[in-house]
Structure 1
């Protein structure tokens, strides 16, 4: 029973943190987390968690937890805040420097904080620049990959 509870918790975490469109991709993520489950077991887990599919607003549908639609709507607000304020992104070691338009650093920093990215320990904002400290072992490239996954409109 314990494995089932931890698996359900992992499924919730995966659905919250990744854009998952199919059971096959969710099974692949579960494998990476060390779980070997059948399609039938995963279907039962999804039913138990009341997981549904919602439009991603672009090209398809993604898995969503109950109440997740509201979270996705608020995350879109953060995405817009980020896009409206940032000018450029660069990094050195585990520090990411994001330059913003004057007066936008706090808004962009708050947007990043509210996206709850596992890659970020925290942010510090000034007027037109902010620093994001990455977790140990996370590179600037990994940060950018995840940020672009969440905000595809970010320019290189």
Structure 2
């Protein structure tokens, strides 16, 4: 059972991370992650997770998780809130400090939390214009910035 839960978590992560067009491609990614499963097992997992396919806007279809469209819309809102409120980002080790415009610390911290970066343990919004971000052990400010730029390409250096 434990392996199944780990596999389901891996499937969700892969669908969120990569552009998965077929079960064959997903099986390849799972094998790279160390999961050896049959196509029939994968098919049951996808049904259990209620994975669907949506148009990629070109000539194909990609896998999507339930609520993914809503999540993407919310993520765009959080990106907008972050860009509107932040002034600068600095770090030391696995601690990041984001300076914000006055009164924007809550919305910037909420945005970081809701961008669902795996390496962020949590945020603390200051009283007015500062957000503290704690990263997982071994994750640096540079790693954090790389993840943020993936989510927010408009983020300035």
TM-score normalised by length of structure 1: 0.77
| Residues 3 and 124 (structure 1), Cα distance of their counterparts in 2 relative to 1, 3 Å cut | closer
Alignment of 1:1-150 (within 5 A): 3=3, 6-16=6-16, 18-23=17-22, 26-27=26-27, 29-36=29-36, 45-46=45-46, 49-54=49-54, 63-126=63-126, 127-150=128-151
CA deviation string 1:51-76 (max 9, x = no partner):
2344679xx97531122211221121
Gaps of 5+ in 2: none
Shift of 1:50: 3.8
Corresponding pairs, count: 153
TM-score normalised by length of structure 2: 0.76
Q: Distance between the aligned counterparts of 1:107 and 1:56, measured in 2?
A: 31
Q: Distance between the aligned counterparts of 1:61 and 1:81, measured in 2?
A: 30
Gaps of 5+ in 1: none
| Residues 2 and 92 (structure 1), Cα distance of their counterparts in 2 relative to 1, 3 Å cut | closer
Give the structure with higher Rg (CA). Answer: 2
